[in-house]
Structure 1
Amino acid sequence: MSEPAEARSGQQIVLRLYVAIVVLAGVMGFVLGSIRPEDLEPELFGVIALPPTPFGVAIYGFVTIGIVLGVLLGLVVYVSERIDDAASS
């Protein structure tokens, strides 16, 4: 059985939301790659060229959004832990 809403921690909800957003970015990349726009040339961080296929664009979406949101989420966790430590001292 699932836990009641009150028992879920904020970290679990944020992690699930992060995973959902990254998966959605990959799915949207696959859809965009299926449409095949004329000048579609996905490159990871301007360095690694990916094929303009549905899977190439999906990988681009997964990796780009995953890393960008992951770094931002990591910074939020880092700062929130530091603020909690400073407040309890």
Structure 2
Amino acid sequence: MTDAESTFEGIDAGEGLDGRRFVIGLYLALVGVTATMGAILSVVLTGVEESLTLFGIIALPPTAAGFALYGGLTVAVILGVPLLAMIYISEKR
């Protein structure tokens, strides 16, 4: 059996989901979960009245949308920059 023919419990390993699609899907899922958790956190922290500061520049209101944007964008940048660097480097090789 060659690498192209490898299977795992009857599922063809070369069919459907490749590595790039999996990593991007995982990235989007993590960003979505973080944004959701930010919105949930805003419900728990009802006493917060000062605005959130995204990257030390952008002021966001202490609402569910503000917390969701803060969490989602922070994780998107923190995970996205290295991911884009890996994609760029892998395509140059």
Larger fraction in helix: 1
Query: What are the Cα deviations for residues 25-56 of structure 1, in whole angstroms up to 9, with x where unaligned?
Result: 10010011111264564211011111111111
Q: Post-superposition shift, 1:77?
A: 1.3
Structure 2: gaps of 5 or more residues: 1-10
CA contact (8 A) 1:36 1:52 kept: no
TM-score, normalised to structure 1, is: 0.78
Structure 1: gaps of 5 or more residues: none
Q: How many residue pairs get matched?
A: 80
Identity, % of aligned positions: 38
Which has the greater radius of gyration?
A: 2
Match of 2:32 in 1: 23
TM-score, normalised to structure 2, is: 0.75
Q: Secondary structure at the match of 1:49?
A: strand
Equivalent AA in structure 2 for residue 19 of structure 1: L
